[in-house]
Amino acid sequence: MGIGLRRVLVTGSDGFVGRALCARLADTGAPVRCALMDPLEKADAHDQAAIEILQPLECTTVGDIGPSTDWAGALDGVDAVIHLAGRAHVLHETASDPLSEYRRTNAQGTERLAGSAVSAGVRRLVFISSIGVHGTVSGNAPFTEDTGINPDKDYAVSKWEAECALRQIAETSGLEVVVIRPPLVYGPWVRGNFVRLLGWAYKGVPLPLGGVRNQRSFIGLDNLVDVLIRCVASPAAAGQTFVVSDGEDVSTAGLIRRIAKGLGRPSRLIAFPEAPLRLAARLLGRGVDAERLFGSLTVDSGKVRRVLGWAPPVSLDEGIRRMCAWYLETRHGW
């Protein structure tokens, strides 16, 4: 069944979330246009899975995303934009001024897209922000949309600045802006630390995290795609900000056990005291990263359930099973 839009433009359509979203939108019957930084024919810029998914769809090349990107052609005839593209977390940062790089793409690039969307007569823009705008650790109370803003990483700072720019444009133009703040996303085609964790579990690497008793919220790829489609189609989503999750929290140790089970491997967790591990991480300059392993970050996604009537269609266990099946099929992820 279609979602009642002339055409949806998806930026970052060759990425982890984008390819899954474009495929699902096409399945609904919605005309979808995929915005790419590089042409699909440029083989070294796209993996085979992205090419296979996007090749049957309408694709357009916009080049580098920043304050001077020309969006005019990509936005022609578009009703709504789902903006996924951006500079993501970099595991081994080489930029001399990382914050400036994040701002250029994530904040200034988003502002440029929104301004161009207004000029093109686009009705709605759905923006993927980050739960990180609230901070790295939620403590005893889960993050909600009303939790104070406290970004402590350059990436999260740039996402918050993008949100602010979007709201200013919405106030003066009538563009319907919807902001989604997800926690860590997992699923097929996942990248970064999550695919590294899959590799450790698959190889049976002993991990000293068996004693971690934190609680973490995540969102599976299928659930994120589902709520994005709801946000682009539902009139009730206009002007709203939502924190979203699977609705099931799990400890770091519990997550690793579920991943190992999905891979058909024993979980090799060692119950090591947490304090020395935290200290070692701080001494190595990885204190914030350690908080992601040891600290709690939970979210209360009650608002999106109330306003949009949305519930995650896929359980945490099933989402992990699908991710592990993908990993086993490819043996190495990407």
**pLDDT tens string 17-30:** 999 999 999 999 99
- 155 classed as catalytic: yes
| pLDDT computed for residue 277 by the predictor | 75
Does residue 334 carry a pLDDT above 70?
no
H helix count then E strand count, the chain: 13, 9
Pairing between β-strand 80-83 and β-strand 58-61 as defined by DSSP bridges: unpaired
**How many CA atoms within 13 Å lie on the side-chain side of 296?**
14
> What percent of the chain is predicted at pLDDT more than 70?
92
What are the φ/ψ torsions at residue 219 (nearest 5 degrees)? Answer: -140, 130
**In the prediction, which pLDDT does 285 show?**
64
Domains annotated on the chain, with CATH: 8-189+219-247+299-313 (3.40.50.720)
Please tell me the distance from the alpha carbon of residue 76 to that of residue 287, in angstroms, as a whole number. Answer: 46
pLDDT band at 45 (very low <50, low <70, confident <90, very high): low
Rg (CA), the chain: 20
Query: pLDDT band for position 94 (50/70/90)?
Result: confident
Q: What is the pLDDT of residues 266-300, one digit of tens each?
A: 999 988 777 777 777 676 666 666 677 788 999 99
Which one from 155, 186, 202, 327 is the annotated catalytic residue?
A: 155
If you average pLDDT over residues 196-216, what whole number do you get? Answer: 92
Query: Side-chain half-sphere of 257: how many Cα atoms within 13 Å?
Result: 11
Q: What is the pLDDT of residues 300-319, one digit of tens each?
A: 999 999 999 999 999 999 99
- Beta carbons of 58 and 33 less than 8 angstroms apart: yes
Query: Which of the four pLDDT bands, split at 50, 70 and 90, describes residue 6?
Result: confident
Full DSSP string of 94-112: --SSHHHHHIIIIIIHHHH
Question: Which has the higher per-residue pLDDT, 1 or 209?
Answer: 209
Query: In the predicted model, is pLDDT for residue 1 greater than 50?
Result: no
Could you tell me what percent of the chain has a pLDDT over 90? Answer: 76
**Close Cβ partners of 143 (under 8 Å, ≥ 6 residues apart):** 131, 134, 135, 243, 297, 298, 299, 300
More confident residue, 103 or 209: 103
Residues in the chain: 334
- pLDDT tens for 155-187 read 999 999 999 999 999 999 999 999 999 999 999
